[in-house]
Structure 1
Amino acid sequence: MISFNSTQVWVHDQDVALDFYTRVLGMVVRVDVTMPEMNNFRWLTVGPEHQPDIAIVLMKIPGEPIMDEATHAKVEELMGKGHAGFLFFTTDDVDAAYAELSAKGVDFVEKPTDEPYGRDSSFRDPSGNHIRLMTPRQMG
């Protein structure tokens, strides 16, 4: 049996990302481990408190030898355009979540609108990752 466990987004600064995903979005830390034997590599994951089996890896863009300078630059460029990582979140009330997150300083790219699949909006995290927030339409 295969199960979903985690996904990863690139971040410029893991501490800034950690603050955003926990303080602003209300997620909890799953794992935060620094490994000195791996050049102080930090494995940092967060997730919704009510979904303990799901984690988002907040991964700092690596340099050599993992990623050469040209690839690193391409990832940075894609992040700046909001195309290096996408996350899709659902909520019972996207309008209430929009109001709450806007009050916390989140700059939405798209305000909530009605779509065939539900009520949908979008914003970006501090690293530029595109996040969609929606209330799914009840089908049937």
Structure 2
Amino acid sequence: MNQRLAHVTVLVRNYDEAIAFYTNVLGFVLVANTDLGGGKRWVVVAPQGPSAGCGLLLAEAHTDEEKRAVGHQGGGRVWLFLHTDDFWHDYPVLQARGLRFLEVPRTEPYGHVAVFEDLYGNRWDLLEPLGG
């Protein structure tokens, strides 16, 4: 049996501001933006490149519980990981686009890494894995 993780849902305040951030700042591609009626949309963004990897399903928060969870889905921890094959190229490009890094880059046994926040405060690693 072949399986893969297709999407991870990220709660957002507003579809359009989230699309703008993920496409203009992170450089993701808008994969889908389908009106489902009733104010709901099926919005998927994903990193550029020849990957069959996981995309982000952007879900606009509507209930009070969902609104409280925006930016806190990882409980304050890094919970999303953006892999790159050229950390030292991507890091300054993302900085120049206004991405907020929470630390200076560091090299760990597993790769070059720096933590950043998306527009809602979700913590991510920009990571170039070392050694495959």
Aligning the two structures, in what range does the TM-score lie when normalised by the shorter sequence? 0.7 to 0.9
Q: Which stretches of structure 1, 4 residues or longer, exceed 3 Å deviation after superposition?
A: none
- SS at structure 2 position matched to 1:99: helix
- In structure 1, what is the equivalent of residue 66 of structure 2? 72
Distance in 2, matches of 1:126 and 1:99, equals 18
Query: Cα 1:29–1:52, aligned 2, differ >3 Å: closer, same or farther?
Result: farther
- In structure 1, what is the equivalent of residue 17 of structure 2? 16
| Per-residue deviation, 1:6 | 1.2
| Per-residue deviation, 1:133 | 0.6
State the aligned residue count: 129
Deviations 1:32-56 (A, max 9, x none): 01122xx221111011232255321
Give 1:78-117 correspondences, 5 Å limit. Answer: 78=72, 82=76, 86-117=79-110
Higher helix share: 1
Distance in 2, matches of 1:129 and 1:77, equals 5
Give 1:39-78 correspondences, 5 Å limit. Answer: 39-50=38-49, 51-52=51-52, 54-63=54-63, 69=64, 71-72=65-66, 74-76=68-70, 78=72
Task: Give identity over the alignment, percent.
Answer: 31
Distance in 2, matches of 1:10 and 1:121, equals 23
- SS at structure 2 position matched to 1:111: coil
What TM-score, normalized by structure 2, do the two folds share?
0.84
Can you give the 5+ residue segments of structure 2 that lack an aligned partner in the other structure? none
Query: Cα 1:77–1:5, aligned 2, differ >3 Å: closer, same or farther?
Result: closer
